Structure 1
Amino acid sequence: MPVRPRLWIVPVLTVLVAVAAALPAFSRAGSGETHRTGAVAPTKAADARRPAARDVVLAVHGGAGTALRRETTDPRKEKAYRDGLADALKAGRRVLRDGGDSVTAVEAAVRVLEDNELFNAGRGAVFTEDAGHELDASIMRGSDLAAGAVAGVRSVRNPVSAARLVMEKTKHVMLAGEGADDFAARNGLPTVTQDYYWTQRRWDELMKAKAPAKDPRAGKATKGGKGTGAAEEITGTVGAVAVDRDRDLAAATSTGGMTNKMAGRVGDSPVVGAGTYAKNGTVAASATGHGEVFIRGAATATISHLIEFGGRDVASAAYEVVVGRLPRLGGRGGVIALDHEGTLAAPHSSEGMVYGYLTEDGDIVTRLFPDETSSDG
């Protein structure tokens, strides 16, 4: 009886060879300190619904907005962003490696970003319409939902530390304006004059925002400039989320607000449940984007509620809020959201968002460009 050729063997062998070749790409990174840029294949729509990374203990963001582009970004600028994010992650890593808690880790990370004039928080904060600086920040502890915030401070070097003082030394959640400045100074925080926050870059942005806009129909100037600095590349609001060895979550956010904002305007960054939220068992989240919309949509608290009451995982909950809901309210932005198992989500409805994270193994990854925002999950 003749033997029939087994034609199915060839395609099966082809598949097995392809799988074997791909296996090294899925192996875990080894222990030890590394700093990766996070460059990956271009993002697909489905990837944004998946985790950005796993086994994360700390993550930071440096704002959302019009994307940085690999082909047009000066190498020195790229390095400055990556170094700024990495320095913040290293500060938080020192805390966690020494047995410190997640609250101290996010405060340490945000302080580094506040001291870096590249970002819109602390030094390098944007200008208000009257050419001043008014800064906002908040911090939240997931173990007991304790929170503290300051709004409209004008002389605190590190607003995130003032927010922690409010959480730990008062019966209140938020202090604002002169009262918050005085409280911080009485408790020993370093104070500065307004010129400490000044940078040429932010001054130029204010002048651009105030410049008369051109009427495209008539080619003439019209009253009012761009108002809120909508043309800025990255808004620069900063934030951090962390989980410590006890699996306690914490989050913090800090900002100078919007370029040319009205004096006295307060955005989402100091508002618990909007710009910042942390609750053990659900999520630690820090947001960046159009603050008014994040307030109206109770952005970070809604992520937590979707996880707690809707049975969602952190990635799908964050995606639904940031990409599915907030744009319908008229605003865009992004969020970093971390659960107690170390799963990180980083969806954004804006064109771009800069962020980075630290893994349990000590790896530091920074992501700036749109082709770096695919999932590792």
Structure 2
Amino acid sequence: MSLAHPAAATESTDAPSWSLVIHGGAGVIERSRITPETDAAVRTALDAALDAGSAVLKSGGSALDAVQAAIVILEDDPNFNAGRGAVFTYEGSNELDAAVMDGKDRNAGAIARVHYTKNPILLARKVMEDSPHVMLSGEGADRFSVESGLEQVDQAYFGTAERRRQLEELKANKVSWFDVDLKYGTVGAVARDTSGNVAAGTSTGGLTGKRYGRIGDSPLIGAGTYADNRSCAISATGAGEYFIRVGVAHEICARIRLKAAARTEFLAQEAERGGSKPDAAMLAQLTAQALSAAEVQQIADAVIAEMGALGGSGGIIYLTPWGHQGYSFDTPGMYRAMANSDGGNRVAVYGDEE
């Protein structure tokens, strides 16, 4: 399956002092299926999330704080499948998943099948910072949320009339394995702060009609979420089972890291042949220049194509410590937006938008 919509990656000669990329899901997102009102509402929400994350980065805040700020906005908006607006399980409840990861030390936190936490991304961060664990699930995660003092809400807060309609349509069609509209409304963000650290976060309600305690890729470190200062930060959205099988987030980061390391070593050897003995500062500069935006994009596209060849679909957003930022998806559309300190802001929904 070939990649239908590779994104235009961005870079500058001097890496931007901060960068942010966000998504609100990928899938069968086409103009014929989206009303003008929904289109406008989604773009407004993406703008608001971009503004929230950018404000943190502009003030010198951390990449992790920026990721959290952007995702909270999207979790509070019913147009997305995360927090308020989360899809229903087959039994008619809402089960929420989320993860965060800090590229500086690869510290991570994740939660799955949470029921009452208003903003699941906040709970994922609590797990990362205030527990000895990486992942909590179900009733235990719910208890930890209460003990952590996070805002709790009734299940009725999450569900919307549209999400209920989607579940009823799925049941009427006797299709219990897939999202009825093939819109993966998972939300996510990746950021690079002025210290050069990257971070990633993802939040979702999963798939409409999911059963048997199903957990997708979003809260799984290395599948739907990953961040490493040696390579990149990734947040994914799509057919979670396939992202898990490929380990999409980690796979992209690993390929970038290994290729950058090999290129840096080659450049260092060339410098030595020219009479320069690379010190730590020079090696850091060589690493920052090792890969072009096109090469990073090619790696992301290749992994998405590999996942697609297995039968999956969806997309990712990425951001490297060296200023490359972009996205890759093989679906008709993807709710997405990006910004950096160079003023390169953009919001897009459909596959033919840059």
Superposition RMSD in Å: 1.9
Correspondence for 2:322 among 331, 335, 341: 341
Using structure 1 for the length normalisation, give the TM-score. 0.80
Structure-2 separation of matches of 1:207 and 1:175 = 30
Q: Percent identity?
A: 43
Structure-2 separation of matches of 1:123 and 1:166 = 21
Listed as ranges, the matches of 1:185-204 within 5 Å are 185-204=146-165
Correspondence for 1:181 among 120, 129, 142: 142
**Aligned partner of residue 307 in structure 1, secondary structure:** helix
- 2:237 and 2:314 in contact (8 A); partners too: yes
Residue range with higher mean Cα deviation, 137-146 or 325-334:
325-334
Residue range with higher mean Cα deviation, 55-64 or 167-176:
55-64
- Which has the larger Rg? 1
**Aligned partner of residue 328 in structure 2, secondary structure:** coil
The answer to whether residue 149 in structure 2 is matched with residue 149 in structure 1 is: no
Residue range with higher mean Cα deviation, 244-253 or 97-106:
97-106
Q: CA deviation at 1:46?
A: 9.7
Match of 1:231 in 2: 181
**Structure 2 gap segments, 5+ residues each:** 261-290
**Aligned partner of residue 329 in structure 2, secondary structure:** coil
Structure-1 separation of matches of 2:7 and 2:148 = 43
Match of 1:264 in 2: 213
Structure-2 separation of matches of 1:53 and 1:308 = 17
- 1:102 and 1:242 in contact (8 A); partners too: yes
Q: CA deviation at 1:97?
A: 1.8
Residue range with higher mean Cα deviation, 311-320 or 332-341:
311-320
Match of 2:352 in 1: 371
The answer to whether residue 341 in structure 2 is matched with residue 360 in structure 1 is: yes
Match of 1:38 in 2: none
The answer to whether residue 29 in structure 2 is matched with residue 67 in structure 1 is: yes
Runs of 4+ in 1 over 4 A off after TM superposition: 44-47, 52-56
Match of 1:10 in 2: none
Structure-2 separation of matches of 1:176 and 1:121 = 16
**Aligned partner of residue 334 in structure 1, secondary structure:** strand
Q: Deviations over 1:148-170 (max 9, x none)?
A: 00000001111101000100011
- 2:7 and 2:327 in contact (8 A); partners too: no
Q: CA deviation at 1:76?
A: 1.9
* CA shift in 2, pair 1:158/1:242, >3 Å: same
Structure-2 separation of matches of 1:88 and 1:46 = 26
Structure-1 separation of matches of 2:239 and 2:4 = 24
Listed as ranges, the matches of 1:46-195 within 5 Å are 48=6, 51=9, 55=16, 57-69=19-31, 73-195=34-156
* CA shift in 2, pair 1:256/1:341, >3 Å: same
